[in-house]
């Protein structure tokens, strides 16, 4: 999700003015690197807290730098829309039946909001998946800490963004969503997909219940083409991020290497935020694996299997509810052709 669009010929766009498959913007990379500086400093003395701080500024890095300073204030709202839903997920995680029901209801409710308000799209595409992420944190203290870091990270990123000069907002063709936004049928399928992923996670007693649920909700989109792109992108990005993270921790590097890694990850997420391919999860997975493994690299194989399998589960459920079920419904509605 990006708050800005670069003009045709920009690093983030192809010659025809469409978003490039894999974009890189050095100016955005610099912004992201500055966002990550506090995290990089803290990592030198406390790797866990420092890497968690890096996670806190990732949403601001991924959304991009708005042209006007007034527009950049929305980054704080983004942090709230990221952190509070994660805390809600942590609260729900302690009552699995309630959590499953809530994910289903929130999925449908987020689509109702998206049909009426532009802000509802943020709730549907960002806040809802973060509730899923929160299901992995039954420790409310940890959930609250991460939620707070999201909000504090967004406030810091907002303050830093004010140092950059304003620029004219580039003209871009109007998007072409339907007049009422996502359909109610999509809302039902979105809620059902997320609830199914959460239910499977609880029934199988997965260590990170939220990983599959979040993958499902992050991948599903009303547009079939966009969902296909995000499905493939999510799987590849998780593989790359996990493998690079494992490779780094197995070297047992000194603290300053983790510091540089935090800067590189946040800067990379910011630099590629306008890519048509879904690459941001490579950077989030990379930092997540550093957090999980820096103290015990021997868990790398089991963590890798866990992350990849749960991602495949989430993407598979998103495919079933987002693409398979509508295709089956259309086929059943088609009248039988004679002969």
Query: Which residue, 301, 298, 276, 272, is CA-closest to 284?
Result: 272
- Helices in 93-161 by DSSP H: which ranges? 96-116, 119-122, 128-134, 140-161
Q: How many CB atoms lie within 10 A of CB 73?
A: 13
3-state secondary structure of 165: coil
pLDDT at 6: 36
The residues, any chain, with a CB within 8 Å of residue 97's CB and separated by 6 or more, are none
19: three-class secondary structure by DSSP = strand
What distance in Å separates the CA atoms of residue 184 and residue 78, rounded to the nearest whole number? 25
Tokens of residue 218, six digits: 């992050």
Q: What is the pLDDT of residues 215-243, one digit of tens each?
A: 999 999 999 999 999 999 999 999 999 99
Which residues, listed in sequence order, are joined to residue 13 by a DSSP beta bridge?
Answer: 19
Residues 2-12 have pLDDT tens digits of: 333 333 334 44
* Domain map (residue ranges) of the chain: 26-164+184-325
- Residue 169: the pLDDT is 72
Q: How many helices (H) and strands (E) does the chain have?
A: 16, 0
For residue 181, what pLDDT is reported? 81
Chain position carrying tokens 């990849």: 308
Give pLDDT, residue 180. Answer: 64
Cα–Cα distances in angstroms (integers) from residue 118 to residues 16, 124, 283, in the given order: 27, 10, 27
Q: Which two structure tokens, joined as six digits, stand for 226? A: 């966009």
What are the residue ranges in the chain where pLDDT is below 70? 1-19, 170-180, 335-339
Instruction: Supply angle C-alpha 47, 57, 151, rounded to 5.
Output: 105
Separation between Cα atoms, residue 300 and residue 302, nearest integer Å: 6
Whole-number pLDDT of residue 15: 45
pLDDT for the residue numbered 174: 47
Q: What is the pTM of this model?
A: 0.86
Instruction: Quote the pLDDT of residue 206.
Output: 92
Measure the CA–CA gap between 213 and 222, rounded to whole angstroms.
17
Query: Which single residue is written with the structure tokens 């192809």?
Result: 14
């Amino acid at each position: 999700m990006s708050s800005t669009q670069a003009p045709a010929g920009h690093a983030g766009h192809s010659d025809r003015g469409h978003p490039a498959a894999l974009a890189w913007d050095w100016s955005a990379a610099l912004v992201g690197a500055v966002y990550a500086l506090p995290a990089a400093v803290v990592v030198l003395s406390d790797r866990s807290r420092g890497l968690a701080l890096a996670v806190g500024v990732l949403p601001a890095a991924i959304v991009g730098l708005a042209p006007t300073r007034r527009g950049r204030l929305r980054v704080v709202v983004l942090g709230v829309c990221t952190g509070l839903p994660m805390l809600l997920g942590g609260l729900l995680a302690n009552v699995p039946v309630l959590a499953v029901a809530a994910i289903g209801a929130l999925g449908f409710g987020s689509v109702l909001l998206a049909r009426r308000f532009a802000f509802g799209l943020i709730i549907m595409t960002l806040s809802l998946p973060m509730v899923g992420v929160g299901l992995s944190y039954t420790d409310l203290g940890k959930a609250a800490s991460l939620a707070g870091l999201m909000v504090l990270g967004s406030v810091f990123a907002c303050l830093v963004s004010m140092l950059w000069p304003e620029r004219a907002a580039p003209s871009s063709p109007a998007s072409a969503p339907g007049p009422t936004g996502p359909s109610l049928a999509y809302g039902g399928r979105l809620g059902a997909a997320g609830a199914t992923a959460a239910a499977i996670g609880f029934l199988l007693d997965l260590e990170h219940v939220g990983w599959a649920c979040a993958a499902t909700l992050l991948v599903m989109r009303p547009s079939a083409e966009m969902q296909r792109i995000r499905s493939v992108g999510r799987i590849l990005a998780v593989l790359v991020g996990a493998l690079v993270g494992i490779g780094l921790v197995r070297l047992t590097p000194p603290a300053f290497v983790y510091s540089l890694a935090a800067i590189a990850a946040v800067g990379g997420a910011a630099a590629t935020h306008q890519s048509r391919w879904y690459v941001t999860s490579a950077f989030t997975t990379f930092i997540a694996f550093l957090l999980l493994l820096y103290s015990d690299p021997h868990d790398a194989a089991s963590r890798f299997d866990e992350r990849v399998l749960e991602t495949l589960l989430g993407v598979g459920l998103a495919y079933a509810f987002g693409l398979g079920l509508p295709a089956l419904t259309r086929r059943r509605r088609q009248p039988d052709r004679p002969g």
